Structure 1
C-alpha cells in the first residue's frame, strides 16, 4: 500500500489500486506498524486515512500500541491526526 501511495503520481497501476481503495466500503489494513515510515510515507498514509474517514469502514491490525505510533510514523502531528480519525468512530 505504501508503495502504491508513493508511486500514485507516476504509475497508472498505483492510481487504479488507490482509486479502488478509496471507493471501497471497507478497507482492511493488516500489520500497519510492522515497518517504520519516513515522514513522506506517513504524510501519504494520513491523506489516505483522511480520504477514507467519512466514506469507508476501516479495520486495522497492528503490532504496536498507539503510544508507539509517533516513533514509527516519524511525526507527532501526523500521528495525532491519523489517530484522531481512526479513534473518532472506533468500535471494539
Structure 2
C-alpha cells in the first residue's frame, strides 16, 4: 500500500505539472499494458499540460511500437492537436561527440 500511495503522489505531481517531457519514446519495446497506460497519461494531460516527446521513430512507426492501430490513432490525435512538430535530421550530436572523445 505504501508503494501505491507513493505512486499516486508521483502521478498527481505529473498531472499538475506545466510541462511533461517524455524522452526517447520507442527506444525500448512497449507491451500492450504499457501502451494503454501511455494512452491514459496522454489523455489525462491532453489540453491541460504542455508535452514534449522525443523519439527516433516517425509517426509511421508508432503503430508497430504500440501494437494497436486504434490506440495509435487516438494517441497521435491527442499529441498532434494544437502542437508544434520539429523533425530533426542529420548526424547525431552524441555520436559526433563520442567519436572525438575516443580519438583523444
The TM-score bracket by the shorter chain reads: 0.7 to 0.9
Q: How does 1:58-69 map to 2 (within 5 A)?
A: 58-69=51-62
Offset at 1:61? 0.4
For the residues of structure 2 that align with 1:36 and 1:82, how far apart are their CA atoms? 17
Q: How does 1:18-29 map to 2 (within 5 A)?
A: 18-29=11-22
For the residues of structure 2 that align with 1:89 and 1:13, how far apart are their CA atoms? 33
Q: Does 1:89 align with 2:82?
A: yes
Q: Does 1:31 align with 2:28?
A: no
Offset at 1:41? 0.9
Secondary structure of the residue aligned to 2:83 is coil
Q: TM-score if structure 1 supplies the norm length?
A: 0.84
Uncovered stretches (5+) of structure 2, i.e. residues with no partner = 86-104
Report how many aligned residue pairs link the two structures: 83
Q: Does 1:74 align with 2:67?
A: yes
Offset at 1:76? 1.0
For the residues of structure 1 that align with 2:68 and 2:30, how far apart are their CA atoms? 10
Uncovered stretches (5+) of structure 1, i.e. residues with no partner = 1-9
Q: Residue in 1 aligned with 2:93?
A: none
Q: Does 1:52 align with 2:45?
A: yes
RMSD of aligned residue pairs (Cα, Å): 1.1
For the residues of structure 1 that align with 2:74 and 2:36, how far apart are their CA atoms? 10
1:35–1:72 Cα contact (<8 Å) kept: no
